[in-house]
Amino acid sequence: MKLPEPRFVDTDGARLAVFEEKPEHRTRDVCVVLCHGFPELAASWRHQLRPIADAGFHVMAPDMRGYGLSSGPEDRSAYSIAETTADVAALIADAGYEKAVVVGHDFGGMVSWMMPYLQPESVAGVITLNTPFGHSRENPVELYEKAYGPRNYVAHFRTPECEEELDKDPARSFRFFMRRDTGAGTNLSRTGRHDPDSMSYIHWLWDDESTWPGELVMSPEELRYYSEAYARTGFGGGLSWYHSILRNWEVQRERFPDGNVPKARVPALLVAARHDPICHPALTDDLLQYFEEFERRMIGTGHWTQLEDPEGTNAILVDWLTRHF
């Protein structure tokens, strides 16, 4: 699996590996930063790097804090949205740009949504794949338990047992997560619904692999790349983002003390995945209230949008980027 050689950027508390492509001639005043989610790597954007560069943009995909070739603090509270958005701002400045379009998927989508509020001087636009906005007036951990029960995946990702099971056999863990629906659901949802059963999906990890529905969305080479990376680091860095959920809520309460989120003045795009029961498209119906200029496009994938349909994802991203910048 071919990726550009990474360069390394020191931020406040982390050293990030950055995989990038540049256009032959710089024609844009903004760069593009691609933020992956869990359990992924910068390599999750490998199909997007060259097409975005060919559209004239300097594009960067970091291994986010705690993942892959990047470092991360041992303090699990140091992975909150305050630190992760600051990491992205540092990458933008290091590359010599004032502003970027920040693109996020899954937990990386939390980074992209919060950039206009926490790093407003560094962001020119926002694109998010799948992820709802994620602002809550109430404790989100308690809300998840109330809505989905104590077995929900967010609660379980914060347990030592889950981390130990994921670390035991990284290749098996990726075979569990990285699947597309072939008619009977995937390990992220057997029903296709956003319900307590689906939101407790992580407990199927302990089942016999022959019972897992769907098919692997990775080639053998890609599976080897991810599993070898996680064999070196373990899943702890990525899971630290889940340990920081309460700190994220505190950061938002500090930023929005009255509980009201003002409309951001940068353009925003959501790419909603029609068959993603975890980040269900219905959970993004309220996004217009957060942005003065907002578009939503639908794509016919499950949760792993840019891996399941790279060409469709690229067409949407490049169209929006070239229209706005």
Over residues 94-108, the pLDDT tens digits come to 999 999 999 999 999
Query: Quick one: pLDDT at residue 136?
Result: 84
Within a domain: 282: yes
**pLDDT tens-digit map of 189-218:** 998 899 999 999 999 999 999 999 999 999
Within a domain: 181: yes
Asked whether the beta carbons of 62 and 37 are under 8 A apart, the reply is no
CA gap 80, 16 in Å, rounded: 16
Mean pLDDT of 162-185: 97
CATH assignment of the domain containing 191: 3.40.50.1820
Query: Quick one: pLDDT at residue 149?
Result: 96
Within a domain: 215: yes
Q: Which range of residues forms the domain containing residue 282?
A: 6-324
Structure tokens belonging to residue 186: 């995937």
Q: Does residue 189 sit in helix, strand or coil? A: strand
- Which residues contact residue 141 at a Cβ distance below 8 angstroms, ignoring those fewer than 6 apart? 154, 155, 245, 246
CA gap 34, 62 in Å, rounded: 7
User: What does pTM read for this prediction?
Assistant: 0.97
Compute, in degrees rounded to 10, the torsion defined by CA atoms 10, 12, 17, 19: -90
Within a domain: 292: yes
Q: What's the domain count of the chain?
A: 1
Q: How sure is the predictor about 35, in pLDDT bands with cuts at 50, 70 and 90?
A: very high
Within a domain: 1: no
* Residues labelled as active-site residues: 106, 303
Mean pLDDT of 146-157: 95
DSSP per residue over 258-316, as a string? Answer: TSPPPPBSS-EEEEEETT-STT-GGGGTTGGGGBSSEEEEEES--S-HHHH-HHHHHHH
Mean pLDDT of 271-283: 95
Q: Is 244 a residue whose pLDDT tops 90?
A: yes
Asked whether the beta carbons of 33 and 115 are under 8 A apart, the reply is no
Report whether the peptide linkage leading into residue 213 is cis, meaning its omega lies within 30 degrees of zero.
no
Measure CA 225 to chain center: 19
Within a domain: 61: yes
Within a domain: 60: yes
Within a domain: 195: yes
Nearest to 2 by CA among 49, 35, 37, 40: 49
Structure tokens belonging to residue 178: 């990285």
Asked whether the beta carbons of 67 and 237 are under 8 A apart, the reply is yes
CB atoms within 10 A of CB 323: 10
**pLDDT tens-digit map of 5-25:** 999 999 999 999 999 999 988
Strand residue runs (E) in 79-187: 100-105, 123-129, 179-180
Q: Is 1 a residue whose pLDDT tops 80?
A: no
Compute, in degrees rounded to 10, the torsion defined by CA atoms 17, 79, 287, 276: 70
Q: Does residue 234 sit in helix, strand or coil? A: coil
State how far the alpha carbon of 224 is from the alpha carbons of 187, 202, 220, 231, in Å: 20, 22, 6, 10
Query: Quick one: pLDDT at residue 137?
Result: 85
Query: Quick one: pLDDT at residue 243?
Result: 96
Question: Percent of the chain at pLDDT above 70?
Answer: 100
